[in-house]
Amino acid sequence: MTLYADWKAPKSDQEHLIWPAPDRIVESTLRNTAALAKLDDVRLLGVPVSRLRSDARKLLGAGDEPLIATGHQIEMYHPGVWVKNVLIDQIARKASGRAVHLAVDTDTPKHLQLRWPGGSVLMSDDAGILDAGWSGLVSPPTERHYQKMCATFRSAADSWAFEPAMDSFFSGFSRSLGAPTLAAAIIEGATELDQSLGLDVQFAIIDLLIDSDAYLAMAYHIIADIERFAVAYNTALAEYRQREGISSPSRPMPDLRIETDRIELPFWTDDLQSQDRARAVAVRVGAVWALDAGDGGEPLHFDPAQDAYAAAAALRAFLLAHQIRLSPRALTLTMFFRLLLVDQFVHGIGGARYDQVTDRILADYFRLAPPAFSVTTGTLFFPGGAGPSDVCVPCIVSEGHRLRHNVLESKTQYLTSITSAPRKSMQRRQHYLAMHRDLTQAAGVSQRISEWRQRLAATIERQERELVLADRELFYGLQTRERLTAMIDRYRIAFG
């Protein structure tokens, strides 16, 4: 198994993390490509993984060249996520491959607002932007909302001492206002912005991929063998929790629930008509497992002896007939990417920690050496607000504590009276209360205390302002082109 690092996001502006070293990433990419292309001894329902991979890659226009990918849910993501695109671009150039960003539109909508210090605006006026079952259901904004959004942002940006790189994003975004989903519009905006910065990254929405033979064959294979798979899944999670000292049974994600005749599946069941989502469950029917659509119809029985392509066709027909979709949960999605699609997958820190569980599943269940993955993140604070802060509110509070106890000249006499009185006596308590009453009165008329209060208020205000400016999770398009290209240059230098 891979020896993992203790990855941590850089705390300083304009810093980045790449793991492992760039030359090792290129080497592991080429090794992954060679090994996965010949992966004939690992089969899903009788069909070699190498064949299923070839079919899935054709959907992205990829052949035998290395396919380097990252993935993220549809959102207005921050520079720490964006640098994954920078890394896959560099790996693809060095390995003569193709870079692809797999945009996940099957996750719950979140971070679909454009935020900046002191303001924000939602990216659509679709009511579902806050509570849709998955982000692929959210429509792009109306023309009226788009114009209002741009005007609100520009009004704020006009007061900044720099020019953000948002024009390219808005250019691509605006051309997709007639697209069926907000996801498509955000992708067009990000594509145009990245291309303007010199990145060669293809974006692909995973909705297309989860209707592929490869994905459906993998899902069928797992459901047909769910008893063994669920044990491997839960065991991998238990080992990860033990290694990381995690006591919560729901972190990093819950186990699959196993009962005698029902086992939870690592998929969501999405009802495409009601637009509701539920955890998918397999039920035992005789000697096999079945999937019930929940609409009173005949369930689909899963035959472990079925051919992969026939199985994929049967599952696709069942889902279409009942207007449902099997969407992957987190570990299942990256397992599909790494096993059946890409040659090098780039994670952020959170995804990389969780994918250690995927490594164990690939090793224990599929009996193969997990293909190497890589990790990157970076920090870019809001332009003009970057840099370390010397604000110390506790220091000012401590100074005030000392001042308050030094403004009363008779304090020493009070302390003598307190210590000479019997412990827990009424006399001792009266001296203590009298001292604090006189301290409060003295502080109320002290010029030094008044000045201290003003310093404390100003320091707290400055801290709050700098915390906003040091928010590393603002959309990367708020950065200047110079700062974004400087970060790209750092990756290029790292790769020689």
The pLDDT, as a whole number, for residue 446 is: 75
Q: Among all chains, which residue has been given the structure tokens 């994670």?
A: 347
Alpha-carbon distance 111 to 458, whole Å? 31
Q: How many angstroms separate the CA atoms of 209 and 36, rounded?
A: 19
Nearest residue to 194 via CA among 97, 81, 29, 109: 81
Could you say which DSSP state residue 479 is in?
S
Q: What was the pLDDT predicted at 1?
A: 41
Residue 124, SS3? coil
Length, in residues, of the chain = 496
Chunked in runs of 10, what are the mean pLDDT values of the chain (496 residues)? 80 94 97 94 96 96 95 96 98 98 95 92 94 95 96 95 96 95 97 98 94 97 98 96 92 94 97 95 96 89 96 98 96 96 96 93 95 96 66 75 68 76 84 76 73 75 59 91 98 96
Which structure tokens are listed for 466? 């700098």
Crossing angle of helices 213-224 and 330-340, in 10° steps, is: 120
Compute CA distances 356 → 100, 348, 373, whole Å: 22, 13, 10
Return phi, psi of residue 153, to 5°. Answer: -65, -45
The structural domains of the chain, ordered by start, are 15-211+332-385+476-494 (3.40.50), 393-469 (no CATH)
> Do residues 483 and 430 lie in contact, with contact meaning Cβ atoms separated by under 8 Å?
no
| Nearest residue to 121 (alpha-carbon basis) of 475, 379, 381, 476 | 475
pLDDT of residue 417: 78
Distance CA 171, CA 193 (A): 9
Whole-angstrom Cα Rg for the chain = 29
Q: Which helix (H) or strand (E) holds 378?
A: strand 373-379
Long-range CB contact pairs, 289-297, < 8 A, 24+: 289/223, 289/224, 289/226, 289/227, 289/263, 291/223, 291/318, 293/318, 293/322, 293/324, 294/269, 295/322, 297/321, 297/322
Contacts of 297-303 spanning 24+ positions with Cβ under 8 A: 297/321, 297/322, 302/220, 302/223, 302/224, 303/224
Q: Report the candidate in 458, 475, 244, 252 with the shortest Cα–Cα distance to residue 380.
A: 475
| Separation CA 81–CA 346 (nearest Å) | 10
The upper half-sphere exposure of residue 440, i.e. CA atoms within 13 Å in the direction of its Cβ, equals: 6
**CB contact set of 94 (below 8 Å; sequence gap of 6+):** 22, 26, 495
| C-beta contacts of 38-41 below 8 A and 24+ residues apart | 39/368
71: which strand partners? 102
> What gap in Å lies between CA 326 and CA 183, rounded to an integer?
19
> What is the model's pLDDT at position 443?
67
Q: Give the predicted TM-score (pTM) of the model.
A: 0.84
Phi, psi of 384 (to 5 degrees): 90, -15
